[in-house]
Structure 1
Amino acid sequence: MIHLTKMTPKEYQDYLLSAIKDYANDKVKNGTWNAGESFEQAKKVFQELLPQGVATPMHFLYTVKSEDGPIGYTWFFCDNTKEAFIYDIGIFEEFQNKGYGTLTMKLLEQKVKSLGAKKISLHVFGSNQRALHVYQKVGYQITDYNLTKLIE
């Protein structure tokens, strides 16, 4: 059994460093940013979105935990428009392919519903087929495609 607990300031600091690196790498991998500037660009995005860290209004950061301790994290935004947006979700590598991603998505739905939201959305990088599979498995529908071709 897993559950979501509010991220502590210490957990947030650990999460933040990892999340910035991962986001920067994803942006480079998907051709949006160049490697030399990606970390600083990602850092700026996180500073703008979470200026008060775990205390940023309408942003909800959780650690995903099992009986054995932390197995992942998630971050979503929810305001009074009845819509929520998942900014980040991750299950640590050693816990992947065990159904925890699917369970986390279901727990997220419960949290969002308890806040009054009627819709939950997210973005997934095109190269992240594993995550796309999980999202579609729990009922998410593709609403847009962005396509890119590098011309050399």
Structure 2
Amino acid sequence: MNYRMMTEKDLECVVERNIEYYNTVENCCWTFEKAYKRIHQVLTMEDSMCMVQLDDSNTITGYLMGYFKEFDDIIGYFLEEIVIFKSFQGKGYGTDFLKILEQEAVKSGASIIELNSVNDEMHKHFYSKLSYYETKNFVMMGKFLEET
């Protein structure tokens, strides 16, 4: 596998593969415009680090996106998303990609990687293989807004 930073030239391919994955595998309803905007937002934000994973044929097999966060005493990296496209799953590519991310984050001065995950056994197993753990001191909170 090969790894490199994602560029705007990668967006069309990444967006199309993202839509294919989420709309087929996870029964979502992404449009090109919405997926493009979401990925482009993270790619172009200050201190972002987004990467693509490529096989030996230069085919994009997955991507990850996130950004560095400054704290008073450390630098963290927040992993927004990591996706290995369906036909490439189950081969260790996601695990390898996370290892590469960890190396790149350390090179950039990060001391911690944070992420939000779907709360199911598959995701917990995937992340725990590399010693990621559920935090006990933070709870994700949200609120759906209604028009007034």
Structure 1 and Structure 2 fold alike (TM over 0.5): yes
Give the alignment partner of residue 128 of structure 2, picking from 127, 136, 141.
Answer: 136
Change in CA separation of 1:4 and 1:16 when aligned onto 2, cut-off 3 Å: same
Whether the 8 Å contact between 2:43 and 2:65 is mirrored in structure 1 is: no
Give the alignment partner of residue 97 of structure 2, picking from 81, 85, 104.
Answer: 104
Change in CA separation of 1:116 and 1:56 when aligned onto 2, cut-off 3 Å: same
Number of corresponding residues: 131
Change in CA separation of 1:71 and 1:17 when aligned onto 2, cut-off 3 Å: closer
* Deviation at residue 39 of structure 1 after TM alignment: 5.0
Aligned to 1:65: 54
Change in CA separation of 1:16 and 1:123 when aligned onto 2, cut-off 3 Å: same
Gaps of 5+ in 2: 141-148
Whether the 8 Å contact between 2:61 and 2:85 is mirrored in structure 1 is: yes
Aligned to 2:144: none
Give the alignment partner of residue 79 of structure 1, picking from 62, 69, 81.
Answer: 69
Distance in 1 separating the partners of 2:109 and 2:66: 14
User: Secondary structure at the residue paired with 1:143?
Assistant: coil
User: Secondary structure at the residue paired with 2:133?
Assistant: coil
Distance in 1 separating the partners of 2:10 and 2:61: 12
Distance in 2 separating the partners of 1:134 and 1:143: 16
Pairing of 1:27-66 with structure 2 (within 5 A):
39=30, 43=34, 47=37, 50-51=40-41, 54-66=43-55
Change in CA separation of 1:11 and 1:49 when aligned onto 2, cut-off 3 Å: closer
Change in CA separation of 1:48 and 1:9 when aligned onto 2, cut-off 3 Å: closer
Aligned to 1:93: 86
Q: Name the structure where helix makes up a greater proportion of residues.
A: 1
Match of 1:9, as an amino acid? Answer: E
- Identical aligned pairs, as a percentage? 24
User: Secondary structure at the residue paired with 1:67?
Assistant: coil
Distance in 1 separating the partners of 2:87 and 2:15: 20
Gaps of 5+ in 1: 30-34, 147-152
Whether the 8 Å contact between 1:3 and 1:107 is mirrored in structure 2 is: no
Aligned to 1:149: none
After TM superposition, which residue ranges in structure 1, 4 or more long, deviate above 6 angstroms?
A: none
